[in-house]
Amino acid sequence: MNPWPVLLYDGDCGFCQATVQFVLRRDREKTLRFAPLQGEFAAALRARFGELEAVDSVVWVPAGGEGVLLRSDAAFAVARYLGGAWRLLPALAVVPRAIRDRVYDAIAARRHRLAERRACLLPAAEDRARFIP
């Protein structure tokens, strides 16, 4: 069980890597961990949670690892975690999940074109320990 929340991201996606950098810059608590979907941690989670088999975008794993949140629910969890003005974003949860996830999927389908992947994500030295293989 993980004692901290984890954000899974597509390690082959420049947009996803930019999102991780965005979250790192705004993370006041510094307890959030990050792991690529292509890594060992994500593989172990896929074995526990079958719904992750076809997932290729952001996944929120709450502290304790008792479940996972996908798509728009994961984005809302990140916003709640960041706090500040970002905590207002989950107010959009009044929109039915099917609609929210359709919008999320439309953005996710274009994410590789939204930001080029020029190089691997290299976190700053002080953030490296927060990345799980």
Query: Residue 35 in contact with residue 132, Cβ under 8 Å?
Result: yes
| Per-residue pLDDT, 77 | 93
- Tokens linked to 9: 């991201």
Q: How far is CA 87 from CA 27, 78, 132, in A?
A: 13, 9, 26
Query: For residues 4 and 32, is the Cβ–Cβ distance under 8 A?
Result: yes
pLDDT for residue 14: 79
How many folded domains does the chain comprise? Answer: 1
Inside any domain, residue 72: yes
- Is residue 70 situated within a structural domain? yes
**Domain interval for residue 26:** 6-130
Split the chain (133 residues) into runs of 10 and give each run's mean pLDDT. 88 84 92 94 91 87 90 91 84 85 83 59 82 88
Do the domain assignments include residue 31?
yes
Is the residue at 14 inside a domain? yes
Q: Residue 75: inside a domain, yes or no?
A: yes
Q: What is the pLDDT of residue 37?
A: 92
Total-model pTM: 0.84
- Residue 1 included in any domain: no
